[in-house]
Structure 1
């Protein structure tokens, strides 16, 4: 099973064995909906943001695209040696995320995610998985991963649920900061956890940093984006850093070297001699 952890983390481009998220807030808003109050005096000591509606429109409205291919170099730091991996990530909007990983020009893993779930295979061990997203949430100790949140993480878009009623929006030297004013409660079948959440955006509304901290433990997930540029009228980050803090710290560094918007034929099939990893 340990061979699968790096692959699944890379497939999702997020990793946290100790983190949960806030997309299941207890309010009744839809996933992309927001509530704008006439409150121009946030509690943060930074400069208040008067035009909140413009801010939320920019950070919540997703870019329009049909497909995108991202070529990346990936470095995983877990305390064990993992060579730098070359990744090809292909996204068809609302349909699938396909990934192929190579080490020293040799294909080592391949996976595909759809709204129904995730499939992946490790060519080095000749094993594969076929699961819904619940397996990945359990593996990573989170409860927010679904297909759309995966797309948003890959594209550098806001992937946690935010609104004006439970977050304070202020202006600082970097741009805009959005901090939860109350702990964000996540209720699952197993337990309830609460998180303090902070998001930083630059002047162009590009997402720079997301921090989620469990208020009852040292568990923390941080995802940072940098070197944003415009490609085919869509702004995308060249660098992504994912840091997972808990009993130990690990991180994933992703350098996006090329973006392409042409159609790509991708394949996924499992050889007959591969062994399925049973999910328990």
Structure 2
């Protein structure tokens, strides 16, 4: 079950990546983003921004696209075979489809829609058909639905931000946003509170985000690097890294090697001999 869980995390998060040199480090070592949540420790050049409306427009409003196909290489700690080759296809607001292989041999496939998650593991000959509670449990959070996941994969701002719950400053790295009040998210009558911090580049690309559960040691950190701008003005990160820390710890790295803005077929079927895994 552990192998399946790790593979599914890779399939569903499809996130990565630090430098190739970094990939040679001991896989048991989990990197951490050095983030200060103390306002007194912000860079000395930090200044409050006056034009928040422009900032919000830049981080929330993006050029529209219908679909994008991404060729990627995925590496994860505790995964015996890597890197894995992946084709990731996102059809805006509709579906995320992924096909993963190792040395040209099919390994897994996933289909994620607003209704839930479907995935098959060809190695273990089993499959799942679940809602997003399963993915939230894997990532130690409670806020992921389809649209949030899509935004995470695209490097978009995926948390709720308002004037009353955040502080925004301009510093030498770009724009830094920190939460003033904890962000409360309620799911299934369970309340979790997060301290949030994000760094954007000078041209408003999301550089990193860190979320800490204030009542536990659980945290999730995501780094986006090497942004590329395409003729349709859509921007996408070539490298992404996700770090899960706390009661569960893992690191997932992905290097996006090619982007195509075209539609493609997204076949998904479960062989009759595969066994369904019941999600509890």
Give the TM-score normalised by structure 2. Answer: 0.85
Are the counterparts in 1 of residues 217 and 245 from structure 2 also a CA contact under 8 Å?
yes
Tell me what 2:188 maps to: 189
**Are residue 55 (structure 1) and residue 55 (structure 2) matched?**
yes
1:74–1:254 contact (8 Å) kept in structure 2:
yes
Partner of 1:101: 100
Whether 1:234 aligns to 2:202 is no
Superposition map of 1:136-155 within 5 A: 136-155=135-154
Do the aligned partners of 1:221 and 1:245 also contact (CA within 8 Å) in 2? yes
Q: CA deviation at 1:200?
A: 0.4
3-state SS in 2 of match to 1:204 = coil
Pairing of 1:191-210 with structure 2 (within 5 A): 191-210=190-209
Q: Deviation of residue 203 (structure 1)? A: 0.6
Q: How far did 1:218 drift?
A: 2.2
**1:251 corresponds to:** 251
Q: CA deviation at 1:259?
A: 0.2
Shift of 1:206: 0.2
Alignment of 1:36-51 (within 5 A): 46-51=46-51
Match of 1:3, SS state, is helix
Give, in whole Å, the separation in 1 of the partners of 2:8 and 2:269: 17
What SS class does the counterpart of residue 151 from structure 2 fall into? helix
1:71 match: 71
Match of 1:166 in 2: 165
Bigger shift: residues 166-175 or 82-91? 82-91
What residue ranges of structure 2 are gaps of 5+ in the alignment?
16-38
Alignment partner, residue 271 of structure 2: 271
Instruction: Check conservation: 1:186, 1:193, Cα contact below 8 A.
Output: yes
What is the root-mean-square deviation in Å for CA atoms of aligned residues? 1.9
Moved more, 248-257 or 169-178: 248-257
Shift of residue 231, structure 1, vs aligned partner? 1.7
Deviation, 1:70, is 0.4
Change (3 A) 1:220 1:117: same
Match in the other structure for 1:122: 121
Distance in 1 between the 2:272 and 2:249 partners? Answer: 37
For 2:114 and 2:107, the matched residues in 1 are separated by 24
Query: SS where residue 182 of structure 1 aligns?
Result: coil
Classify the secondary structure of the residue corresponding to 1:56: helix
Summarize deviations over 1:31-88 as a string: whole Å, max 9, x none.
Answer: xxxxxxxxxxx9977201011100001101143001100000110013x534210110
Once the two structures are TM-superposed, the CA of residue 184 in structure 1 deviates from its matched residue by 1.6
1:175-211 per-residue CA deviation (whole Å, 9 max, x = no partner) reads 0011001122233336332221000000110000000
User: 2:14, 2:174 → 1: CA distance?
Assistant: 24
**1-10 or 236-245: which moved more?**
1-10
**Runs of 4+ residues over 4 Å off in structure 1:** 42-45
Asked whether the 8 Å contact 1:76–1:82 carries over to 2, the reply is no
Deviation per residue, 1:86-116 (Å, 9 max, x gap): 1100011111100001111111000000111
